[in-house]
Amino acid sequence: MRAAISAMSAALLVALSGVFTLGADAPSSARREAQAALKPFGGIVGDWRGSGQVERGRTKGAWSESSSWAWKLTSDSAALEGQIKKGKYLKSILIKPGEKPHTFSAEAVLPDGKKRTFVGKETAKKAFEFTSEDAGGDGVKRITLTPLHDTRLLMLLEGQNADKDYTRLGEVGYTREGVAFATGEGGPVCIVTEGRGTIPVSYKGKTYYVCCGGCKDLFNENPAAILAEAAEREKAKKK
């Protein structure tokens, strides 16, 4: 009897081990859905140098800043984070999928360290418009991100007057760091997000590419699952 119980226990442990192994290797549907919802922003991942102007074509009040955008990924979530160095109106911004399809939420940190919440949507002009949910306060209340192409990005910053009308604070024109202005979208593709692959990673002697540190960390955490996910995407494209 004791031998039979021991055999049953061993079999159960083997079965549970198989379940846990499958769970570890299976791509997270929650993370994949969030990542897919944020795919329209994928092109802004990378480092950018920016020139801000209160009014276009006027140097009075102009400033310089830089930003770095990267995926922030866990096994069950996805977000895009922009860190802005010397930003006049923003210090950072974290973008996540919204509660409704084709909507987004964003949490911005202002230069003084205060946080401000925004809700966003894609406009008919292929821009992304975020408006503040927070009542009162000064500074930026609406942010419009407009990717012009792979190497140029505009960020319009607006406040609100006493009548709640939006007023222009300034606009930052960003150029991608380390890329010639006329460069196209050729080159390696990120194995995680299908964005611009700039960082090599390897698994079982083969080299792949990812677009940022967040994707690199996720790949290194479970490369087999990421490669399985990429294979699923390619299979779906051929249907």
Whole-angstrom CA distances from 234 to 120, 131, 230, 238 are 30, 36, 6, 7
Tokens coding 60: 């009075």
Tokens coding 229: 């996910």
- 176-179: list long-range contacts, CB under 8 Å, 24+ apart: 176/46, 176/47, 176/48, 176/150, 176/151, 176/152, 177/46, 177/47, 177/48, 177/49, 177/66, 178/47, 179/150, 179/151
Place of tokens 């966003």: 120
- Predicted local confidence at residue 133, as pLDDT: 81
pLDDT, one tens digit for every residue, the chain (239 residues): 444 434 434 443 333 334 333 444 455 789 999 999 999 998 899 999 999 999 988 889 999 999 999 999 998 999 999 999 999 999 999 999 999 999 999 999 999 999 999 999 999 888 999 999 877 778 999 999 999 878 899 999 999 998 889 999 999 999 998 754 434 456 899 999 999 899 999 999 999 999 999 999 999 999 999 999 999 988 888 87
Residue among 182, 126, 180 at smallest CA distance from 154: 126
- pTM across the whole model: 0.81
Place of tokens 């024109």: 173
- Parallel, antiparallel or unpaired: strands 46-53 and 166-176: antiparallel
- Predicted local confidence at residue 235, as pLDDT: 87
Give span(s): CATH 2.40.128.20, the chain.
37-176
Q: Does domain 37-176 have CATH number 3.40.50.80?
A: no
